[in-house]
Amino acid sequence: MTLRVLTAGDHFVENRLFIDALRREVPGEVEIRELTLPWPVVPFGRVGEVDEASDVEDELIEALRGVEVCVTQMAPLTRRVLSASPDLRLFSVSRGGPVNANLEAATEAGVAVTFAPGRNAVATAEHTMSMLLAATRRIPQTHADLASGVWRGDYYRYEMVGPELDGSTVGLVGYGAIGRRVSRMLAGFGARVLVHDPYVDVPGKVGLDELLTRSRFVSLHARATPETAGMIGAAEIARMPAGSVLVNCARGALLDYDAMCDALDSGHLFGAAVDVFPEEPIPAGSRLLTTPNLVMTPHLAGASKETAIKAARIVSADVARYVRGEPLAHCANPAFAAS
């Protein structure tokens, strides 16, 4: 029997990557239909009741007619899409978490939702290290000065230079796949690592207050949950030693950005580097655009060719398990995962 699959790729995890992975992984006859979503040319947003999705409900509903399996990164699995797609049985999201899928509605409709944990762990860890170094060594500022024809010798003054990673203590808030890789990279720099994560038991694990007071560098790697929302605010930043560096390549919801800007303005923080924001894109007039000693990148820490390839392979492997009648490796529906 022919399996009908929709590849709803975009300009990062392209349809050709999904198709190549499906052809390698999935046994039997597969009929593939393609839909190309506009992300990242068009930013994602809230669609219906789901977050971080491309606004393509109408196009998706049309493309899903007669389709049993959908593999995607940004397609919105909303109640409206589900009610219009009775043949759909598997919705595979090539992201670390299926935030663009309504899990409750999918479970009610008998649709399994899978995801791709760890797909961007290496890329994000490498980007985190880049941000730590860029903020500490003022690389963006000095490059901009040189590009404009200004030689800033004053950056060599003692009060203008930052600390070294070698011999410093670095606090990692969250110790999942990304945090563990960052820890290994930091070891190569000669840094001491402290960890705050209630879900792991590792050497160097401490409470959040102790981590903040002892760490010269703090890097956030926790997931965004109701418990972690705003976990680093003005009081927490104040506990960090004067002249510290703060990095967030995880989620904007973890950090109070006004408190971070205040600490940069006052000089309490030597520098900060962020890849994620409370509102994306950054609105015009945001103080983030004028705060000193702040390095920013536009939510691309996980952007690497390997990330896109891994994402397609991970979800395709679960499609293959579905076809063979095996348990899904990365199922997000609690009811299905337990069965």
Show which residues are catalytic.
251, 280, 299
Q: Give strand ranges (E) for 116-225.
A: 169-173, 192-196, 217-220
The number of residues making up the chain comes to 339
Question: What is the distance between the alpha carbons of residues 256 and 259, in angstroms, rounded to a whole number?
Answer: 5
Residue 85 DSSP symbol: -
With CA atoms as reference, report the closest residue to 6 among 45, 54, 62. 62
- Residues 6 or more apart in contact with residue 123 via CB below 8 angstroms: 301, 302, 303, 304, 306, 307
Sequence-separated (6 or more) residues with CB below 8 Å from residue 58:
none
Asked whether 249 and 120 are in contact (CB, 8 A), the reply is no
Distance CA 213, CA 57 (A): 48
CB 4 within 8 A of CB 68: yes
Q: How many CB atoms lie within 10 A of CB 266?
A: 9
Q: Please state, in angstroms and rounded to a whole number, the distance separating the CA atoms of residues 306 and 280.
A: 24
State the DSSP H helix or E strand holding residue 323, giving kind and residue range, or none if neither.
Answer: helix 305-324
Instruction: Provide the strand spans (E) within 124-268.
Output: 169-173, 192-196, 217-220, 244-248
Q: Which two tokens stand for residue 208?
A: 């959040």
Nearest to 36 by CA among 5, 67, 73, 68: 73
Closest Cα to residue 293, out of 165, 138, 74? 138
